[in-house]
Structure 1
Amino acid sequence: MYISKYQPLAEALNSALENDPFYITLLSWIPGEAEKRNALIKYMDYSMTEAEQYGLLYLPAEHNYGASIWSKPLDASTELLKLQQKKAFLKDELGEGALAIYLEIVDFMASKADELIAPDAWYLSIVGLKPEFQGKGLGGGLIKPILDKTDQQNLTTYLETFTPANISFYKRIGYETVASFIEPVTNAKYWIMSRKPLV
């Protein structure tokens, strides 16, 4: 059984992202709104723990209203181990249905990103801020400290968003739209955005 490590932050990410088509579809086979909510909180908690081990988890010191979760390029054996652990988590905690949905969506999106994004780019996989604290200038603070690091290392970063309203926010911190696609499982449009290092 999965033991939560970041419950309050996982709840914050849940409230920020529960209406995202990716997560709605991921949880679509789970009956009951409470069960869906608990599953997504667990998923967010796992994602933060995974980032600690394999990527980068940014938690601002001044509040616990949100977080950003980053993936970094890994060698093939480490990437395989990470995927095996993720698949085991999804199967054991969210069920076979969620695992199948996750793999189908992620495989499609990865195939598109691989054609457009440099292999050494860092990926902003999840970022979220509690809705009641949005629009107060806190969102950029979840991302900019990591962009300072990638700028110093001369690295590109990228993200994918299903939310058109987020595009202007990302543009303000230096991202540009690279492409957009209809993801076939969600049947929703999403955008790939990339930011080159500021040197």
Structure 2
Amino acid sequence: MVTTRTDLTVRQATVDDVPALLPVFAEAFSTGTVAEWAVPEPADRLEVFTSYFRFMLALGLHYGRVDTTDDLSGVAIWYRRDETPSPHPDHLYGLEEATGRYAPKFLLLDAMFAARHPRLPHAYLAYIGVAPAVQGRGVGSALLAHAHEALDAENLPAYLEASNPRNCDLYTQHGYEAGPPMQPTSSGPPFWPMWRGQLNGGVRSPFPPPNPYYRRPR
């Protein structure tokens, strides 16, 4: 059961919030198996993810919507996608510039996500980050609940990629269904595509029927 905090206000972020939100993303994403795979050198991780999310925040503010909490402890980047989404033309160049010598792995992830992305109208949760000091205290759930309230009013589905089983469990509590996992390489970290359907029927899950022999690792 999800407990939604009532003491947090979620609002749309502006460019003035970037200095505070950038370290939230960078610190949240620069640890864990994905960070270790993408940036094998530990000393480089925080710098690379800071540069990466500086670019991603700029994209989100320009092309999508960035939500944050009133205390700036959490942040989420959303996009609206139609049946055939097309990234803006400078996306790949900017990604290479932001990640430097680690760009090949970031580009590989980008290509994998694009290949598996549902070709159905939906809202796409590209990134959600919570400051490490307050993780597990309902900040992420507050961001999700705020976005879902608006999506449910439109009867619009949502999609995301989860990077670990713990996150899968959180998203499942918020109404998402996990699809078969995907990996950028045979030794790369798994990601789970997750779909939150419409309240009033309509578009069904884009995922194939589950494999009864597959067990998600914990």
Give the structure-2-normalised TM-score.
0.74
Contact in 1 for aligned 2:38/2:102 (Cα 8 Å): yes
Give the structure 1 partner of residue 176 of structure 2. Answer: 175
The answer to whether structure 1 residue 85 and structure 2 residue 93 are counterparts is no
Q: Which runs of 5+ in 1 are unaligned?
A: none
The answer to whether structure 1 residue 36 and structure 2 residue 45 are counterparts is yes
Would the alpha carbon gap of residues 155 and 132 (structure 1) be closer, same or farther in structure 2, given more than 3 Å must change? Answer: same
When you count helix as a share of all residues, which structure comes out higher?
1
Question: 2: distance between equivalents of 1:27 and 1:69?
Answer: 22
Give the structure 1 partner of residue 195 of structure 2. Answer: 194
Would the alpha carbon gap of residues 99 and 27 (structure 1) be closer, same or farther in structure 2, given more than 3 Å must change? Answer: same
Cα deviation digits, residues 160-195 of structure 1 (max 9, x gap) = 112111111111111111221233176222211110
* Structure 1 counterpart SS, 2:190: strand
* Structure 2 counterpart SS, 1:179: coil
Question: 1: distance between equivalents of 2:179 and 2:76?
Answer: 21
Q: Percent identity between the aligned chains?
A: 20
Give the structure 1 partner of residue 80 of structure 2. Answer: 72
Question: 2: distance between equivalents of 1:103 and 1:138?
Answer: 29
Question: 2: distance between equivalents of 1:168 and 1:159?
Answer: 13
Contact in 1 for aligned 2:99/2:106 (Cα 8 Å): no
Cα deviation digits, residues 26-67 of structure 1 (max 9, x gap) = 333xx561x43122112112212211111111112x211110
Give the structure 2 partner of residue 7 of structure 1. Answer: 19
Question: 2: distance between equivalents of 1:150 and 1:50?
Answer: 21
Contact in 2 for aligned 1:176/1:194 (Cα 8 Å): yes
Question: 2: distance between equivalents of 1:176 and 1:150?
Answer: 16
Q: Which runs of 5+ in 2 are unaligned?
A: 1-15, 201-218
Question: 2: distance between equivalents of 1:159 and 1:91?
Answer: 23
